[in-house]
Amino acid sequence: MGGLKSLNLVDLHTHSTASDGTLTPSQLVTAACEQGLKAIALTDHDTVAGVAEALAKGEELGIEVIPGVEISVDHPGGELHLLGYFLDLTCPQLQETLAKLQAYREQRNPQMIAKLQAHNFDITMDEVTAVAGGTVIGRPHMAAVMVAKGYVSNTAEAFEKYLASGRPAYVKKQRLSPEEGINLVLAAKGIPVLAHPKYLPEQSVPELDALIAKLKNLGLRGLEVVYTTHDSAEQHTYRQLAKKYNLIVTGGTDFHGANKPDIKLGIGMGALRVPYAVVDKMKEALIKRD
C-alpha cells in the first residue's frame, strides 16, 4: 500500500457497525490510516451514530474524517440512495429525521421477522439485533442470521428468495421522498450526492438525464461517478452527466468489511482510485454557499 500513499487517495463511501459494516468506526478509520488514505467519509445507512467516534479516531491518528450519511429515499421501481457529506451533526432537523427513519425500521423489522417465522424459520428479533450490534438494524442482518443457521447459503440467496421487494418476507419501510432527503442534507449544511447510479431503475442515458435534471433542481450537488462496480463505460456516461449538470464528481467503494468481502477499503476490487481533489471541490462548494 506504500505506493498508494503518495497518490493522496480518499474513500467517500464506507459503512461501519453503526449500520451494516463489520468494522467499528474506530477500526474503520484505523484501517484507512494504515492504507495511507488521506481522508475517509463515514456514510452509514440512515444514521450518523458512528460519526463522533470516527472523528475522534481521525483526530488521534491524523487522518481527515468527513461526517456523512447514506439515506435511502423513495423512488418508483425501488429506492435511490443519497449520500450527504460535511454534515453539521448539531442540526436538530438531522437528528430528528434520522430518529424518525429509525422508528420506521423498528416498525418494519418485527413484521418481517413474523413473516419469516410463518415460513417456519426459527429466527427471532433478538437474534437479528444481536447480529446487528449497532443502531441501524435491517435486512442484511436478517440475512446474516439466515446464513448462520444454514437456511440459505449466502446473503444474495436470502434476498432473492425471501427478503427482496416482492419476496415473501418483504415488508416495505416508509421512506423520505428525494426532495425531503436532499432538503435534510442541505438543512444540515451538507452536500447531497446521488449514490451509485448503476443501481437505479433508470438505465438509458435519456432516463438518467431526466432524473438527474430533476434532482439537480431539488438541490443535488454531486454524482458518485467512481464506484466499485461502475465499469469504464458507465463512469464515462456518469461523468458526462455530472459535467452537463455541473455536479461534483465523487467516488467511493461502499466498503462493508466482511459483509462484502470482495470490496476493499479505498480501492474497491483493486483498481478504484478517488483523488483528494474531490474533497477540495466539496469544500469549495461549501465556502461558496456560505
Q: Does 196 bind ligand AMP (CB under 6 A)?
A: no
CB of 181 to Zn ion, least distance (A): 16
Q: Does 20 bind Zn ion (CB under 5 A)?
A: yes
User: What type of residue is 165?
Assistant: S
Q: Residue 82 pairs with which residues in a beta bridge? A: 71, 194
Q: What's the CA gap between 32 and 178, in Å, rounded?
A: 31
Q: Which long-range contacts (CB under 8 A, 24 or more apart) does 54-59 make?
A: 54/16, 54/25, 54/26, 54/28, 54/29, 56/26, 57/25, 57/26, 57/29, 57/30, 58/29
Instruction: Provide φ and ψ at 73, rounded to 5°.
Output: -115, 160
CB of 141 to ligand AMP, least distance (A): 8
Q: Does 138 bind ligand AMP (CB under 6 A)?
A: yes
Contacting range for Zn ion; rule: CB under 5 A; set: 10-18, 22-30, 94-102, 105-113: 10-18
Q: Does 228 bind ligand AMP (CB under 6 A)?
A: no
Q: What's the CA gap between 275 and 144, in Å, rounded?
A: 34
**Contact (CB, 8 A) for 145 and 136:** no
Tell me, rounded to whole angstroms, the distance of Cα 21 from its chain centroid. Answer: 10
CB of 15 to Fe ion, least distance (A): 6
Q: Does 20 bind Fe ion (CB under 5 A)?
A: no
Q: Which does 175 bind (CB under 5 to 8 A by kind): ligand AMP, Fe ion, Zn ion, none?
A: none
Contacting range for Zn ion; rule: CB under 5 A; set: 12-20, 61-69, 210-218, 224-232: 12-20
* Residues at the interface with Zn ion (CB under 5 A): 15, 20
* Residues at the interface with ligand AMP (CB under 6 A): 20, 45, 72, 138-140, 155-156, 159, 164, 173
* Residues at the interface with Fe ion (CB under 5 A): 70, 81, 195, 254
